[in-house]
Chains A and B, each alone.
Chain A
Amino acid sequence: MNTQNLRLAVLVTLALPALAVAQSRGLAVSDVQSLVASLPQGAEFRSEGQTYRPVAGLRAELRPAGRVEPGQASAEGAAEVIVEVKGPYVIYRDTAAVSAAGKSLVGAPRVAKGSVVVNVRTGQLGIADGLITAKLSDVGAAGALAAANGLTVEYVAGHIGYAFFTAPPGQDLAAAAAALRKDPRVKSAHANVQESFAEPG
């Protein structure tokens, strides 16, 4: 469905807290880029041919029901400002750089589930989905690889030779992927980053 039409219909339907209708999905690109440039960034890592850096001071949350607007304060407090609405996520400027356990996904220059990362070339923000995707020469080794690297096997798609791993909280996914790549049974591995999201069509 035409998304704009849909959003209007559904969000109004839900009739949750009356929020201003967003006309934009975030700060201006240049503003975001300036903001990101001003924030601490972690080590570069590669994912699907792109180079990223985790950005400190930003955190991604699943979008709350209802409308959100750039600059709007989060439900947690006025200190958090919406930088960008990206698919189902809202990226907040976490001025306190503090994560609320169980809610804040990340806000540190390392790659974990919910980390906000920046595409070094394009400046686009992305969000780590918490998974490491690895192409294996032997998918039967997925368990062993997970054990050897402190990971958990999330799913093995043996029919295409892939395994998906998760890491325990605090473990850097990019570093874990790099560790996996050193194993000869691993053809490729990377921490997943989502730069764009799907919407109803």
Chain B
Amino acid sequence: MISTRPQLASLLVTTALALLGAGCGGSSGGASLTSVAVGPGSISVRTGASQQLTASGTWSDGSSSDLAAQATWTSSNPVVASVSSTGVLTGHAPGAVTIVASSAGVVGMANATVVAPTLTAISISPAAISSAKGTTLQIHATGTWSDGSTSDLTSQARWNSSDATVASISSSGLLTAHVLGTASVTAVSAGVTGAAPATVTAAELTALAVTPEAVVLPRWGAQQLLATATYGDGTTADVTSQVAWASSATGNVTVTSNGLAAVPGSAATSETATVTATLSGRSGSSTVSVSTPTLTILSVTPRSDDIVAGGEALQFTATAYWSDETSADVTGRATWTSTAPEVVDIDASARANADAGGRVGTQVPILAAFAGLERASALRVVRGPPLNPARTADPLAGQEWYLLNVGQKAFADVAGTPGVDLNLLNAFSMGLSGKGVKVAIIDSGLEIKHEDLEANVVPGSWNFLTRTDDPTPTPEEPEGPHGTSVAGIVAMVHDNSVGGMGVAPRSSLNGYNWLAKGAQTSLNFIKSIGGSSAKPRSDDVSIFNLSVQWDNTGPVTLESAVEEQYWYGVTSLRGGLGAIHVKCAGNGFQDHFELACAEANGIGVTCQNASYDSRNVLPYNIVVGALNASGIRSSYSTAGSALWISAPGGEYGKNRSVAPGKPENDYEAAMVTTDLSGCTLGYAWTGADNSTFNQGGSNNLSCNYTNTFNGTSSAAPSTAGAIALLLDARPDLGWRDVKHILASTATKVDLSRDAVIDTSLAGGDYVAELPWIINAAGYSFHDWYGFGAVDVDAAVELARTYEVGFLGNLVVSRWASQEELTMVIPDANSNGVTSTIDKVWDPAITFIEAVQVRWSATHARMSDLGIKLTSPSGTTSILLNIKGGFTTTVGPDNMILLSNAFYGENPDGVWTIEVVDGRSQVQGTLTDWSIRIFGH
């Protein structure tokens, strides 16, 4: 409806003016316009919308026409709605207006209403909400209006979540995802609702880290890498196996699908690669560097070895091992040092040389240094290639129990005791063989062409009968084979595939047939023990072996020239070191030539005393007793205080099958050694009556060897050979040094041996033979064994560190005497006579090396008499045993006796001699006695 309002009034005025200006209305074909109707009907338009209005003119003739294009249109309030000149009404704001259309002065009017649009829909974006757990997301709401317009309703809408535990949403539309799940988000405005589903997804990966961040690996090294994910919700997880691994430089660093980074052996050192782990668009990385390898091991070969003194050089090698498991020979780059260059020198090329004078057995560490590492190797100085009787081509060596006793029978019937031998395997292992040591066999001769000796025979031998240099015995020589057998024990050639091997199988041999029939003069003896520079050449001998014994039945006097030659030998030969004289004790324990042995045998003492032999009482000799293969005194071995040492001599080596009915010890092992060649000479021959071996048995078809050699004749060369080994180890040892070492290292044997008590004498029991004693200096001694059995290895070991000069200079004291005595010796009485000498000796002697007693007595059967000597320290030694074997009918006249039992003691003080008569019916008188000391 039209209302006249100020705006309307104004509109009318305006319209009237417009009509005036237009000249009074129009006409159409003569008809005049009568009315204008503005249509259509009720006019309503939404804000923002437009509508074409109509202006229908009615003419006076009743016609009508559309005047919209010609009419003048006016809005009463253009702010609410405006109308264009063509009648298009546009709503601008809700309200009412009057629209006037005029034409030709005719006005038509209509009311129009501008109405507001209505909200018809709300849309939510995103339409499907997906948000990772722990994250927020802004949600938007857009309204769609009835007029087709849209508007952002985010801030006006009312937001809601169907499950706020899954996702909540703020009033401004900010969605927060809490837990995995779904919800419905709605936005409501003007009664219109928009909705969208919301899904909370897993937490979002926010970071990916690889640890360790930096790795240094050697070639061949590997490192497990870890990939750790960090999520939006603040949690982390090991995603090592989930990520994709990659290396930036696979030539240097590889990585497995499980994250194991490794450096191949071909990698270039000091190179770097980046190892990357990728997951869900995130990545992390580690830097892997190839390290410069470090030296981890320096290996030196040989780690330990033997080096021959004066022998060929020994080549060392050094190998370096690095941390990347590579290695290289660095022999030429290492620094080589000997800890004892005076013994073993090593050059820059790692060639070690042992000085020819190097002490055998010396351990010399060799140090190799390279790149900060040092490695030591141990060299043992040896004399030559090792020897071993158990591993030699010599077929008989295995039967030489004296070298290595394993309980073999040595072709006899009865085996010995394993372990009873010279104990020389270690010496052999050091190559000690007696090489360069000349041993003279002063004997019946020497078959210098014997197949198992010839290689060791050197010029200098002598035949006193033929005056030639060939002392090979003739068939007519009754004692012919003896020296050849003695020589074999010393020096059968090693590893020549024949025979056996000697104790010193590379020593040098000479033979002088002093024992040959007609050669046995004191002059020839002097020539034989170093008194000749030619024919024989004996002055360059190191060891004289004297497997000889005397047949005297009473005391004999040693030739003064012989004694002086001995003195010369120990003071001048071997460049002043002194030759070694090895002398057998004798084979008279049970019987001996013309000695009367029944009484001695009856009580179990030696029939022949070692001091019966005038050479045995010289301390310049090493007097040797014999041991059998069971380690006790051989049945025949002469005993006495003059003994120094004992060594293998064996028993008789017989076979019952050949020689039945003999004493048991006849069947015990003897010595396997060389014999005169052939089956017509020597101990081994086709008619031998003692053993199958000697008969040329299967092991001895040539008859060049014997298995029945025995005696202290065997013990002496056993000892001579042992000493040759010792001198091989220490050529600088003097003769007294050798004696000292042997005594100090000897093994006590037969430990359970009791004293021999003679209960037949008036006055009570008499100790006719002592058990083992320990003297005041700590040395053990027994008249049957001296200081005990030779122990080569122990001797060599002591010799290795022995200081030559330890014994000082030998001093031989003057005789101290008790003369013109008239001491009647009670007959057959254990209480004999005693006499003393109280003496302070040369102050230079504080260490006894030997004691000699010289005595005289009247007695028609001197073998009745026994003599004991007691030292100031209280040590008693039996110098002569009662009931001995001498058959002489006169008493001793300055007979000299020797005792070694006081070794090491101080001589100062009272010496007491006790003389006892052990048999009845003959009585005598002690007339004088003297004593002198050898010592330092």
Contacts and interface: CB of A to CB of B under 8 A. Distances in A.
Nearest to B555: A122
A124 B888 contact: yes
Contact of A15 (B585, B687, B712): B687
Most buried by B among A1, A11, A13: A1
B587 A88 contact: no
Contact of B517 (A1, A13, A62, A201): A62
Nearest to B634: A2
B587 A3 contact: yes
A131 B523 contact: yes
A9 B444 CA distance: 15
Contact of B683 (A9, A25, A62, A154): A9
B521 A198 contact: no
A199 B594 contact: no
A65 B560 contact: no
Contacts of A199: 479, 515, 548-551, 593
B681 A201 contact: no
A146 B710 CA distance: 45
Contacts of B914: none
Interface residues of B, number: 74
B811 interface: no
A123 B890 contact: yes
Nearest to A15: B687
Interface in B705-753: 708-714, 716
Interface string A1-40: 1111111111111110000000011100100000000000
Most buried by B among A5, A15, A49: A5
A4 to B, nearest CB: 7
Contacts of B550: 196-199
Contacts of A198: 514-515, 520, 548-551
Contacts of A1: 482, 485, 547, 587, 709-711, 713-714
A14 B520 contact: no
A201 B547 CA distance: 5
Interface string B496-531: 000000000000000000110110111100110001
Contacts of A6: 479, 482, 683, 711
B569 to A, nearest CB: 10
Nearest to B522: A192
B568 interface: yes
Contacts of A188: 560
A13 B687 CA distance: 7
A13 B681 contact: yes
Contacts of A7: 478
Contacts of A200: 443-444, 479, 482, 515, 547-549, 711, 713
B685 A13 contact: yes
Interface string B674-691: 000000111101011110
B557 to A, nearest CB: 5
B190 interface: no
B652 interface: yes
B475 A14 contact: yes
A89 to B, nearest CB: 9
B147 interface: no
Contacts of A3: 549, 587, 593, 711
Contact of B551 (A24, A131, A196): A196
A190 to B, nearest CB: 9
Range, interface on chain A: 35 or more
A9 B548 CA distance: 18
Interface string A108-136: 00000000000001111000010101010
B531 A10 contact: no
A2 B888 contact: no
A195 interface: yes
Interface in B522-577: 522-523, 526-527, 531, 546-554, 556-561, 564-565, 567-568, 572
B478 A25 contact: no
Contacts of B568: 159-160
Interface in B69-109: none
Contacts of A45: none
Interface in B17-47: none
Contacts of A26: 594
B269 interface: no
Given A49-B557, A160-B531, A160-B564, A195 B480 contact: no
B287 interface: no
21 contacts: A1-B485, A1-B587, A1-B714, A5-B710, A6-B482, A13-B688, A24-B594, A25-B594, A87-B520, A88-B520, A122-B890, A124-B553, A157-B526, A157-B531, A160-B568, A195-B556, A198-B514, A199-B550, A200-B547, A201-B546, A201-B716
Given A4-B591, A50-B557, A129-B521, 10 more contacts: A3-B549, A10-B479, A14-B475, A24-B594, A25-B593, A88-B520, A124-B888, A157-B526, A188-B560, A201-B713
Please list the 9 inter-chain residue pairs (A to B) with the smallest Cβ-Cβ separation, ordered nearest first: A196-B552, A201-B584, A201-B549, A200-B482, A1-B711, A88-B517, A201-B713, A198-B548, A160-B564
Interface of B: 443-444, 475-476, 478-482, 485, 514-515, 517-518, 520-523, 526-527, 531, 546-554, 556-561, 564-565, 567-568, 572, 584-587, 591, 593-594, 636, 652, 680-683, 685, 687-690, 694, 708-714, 716, 887-890, 893-894
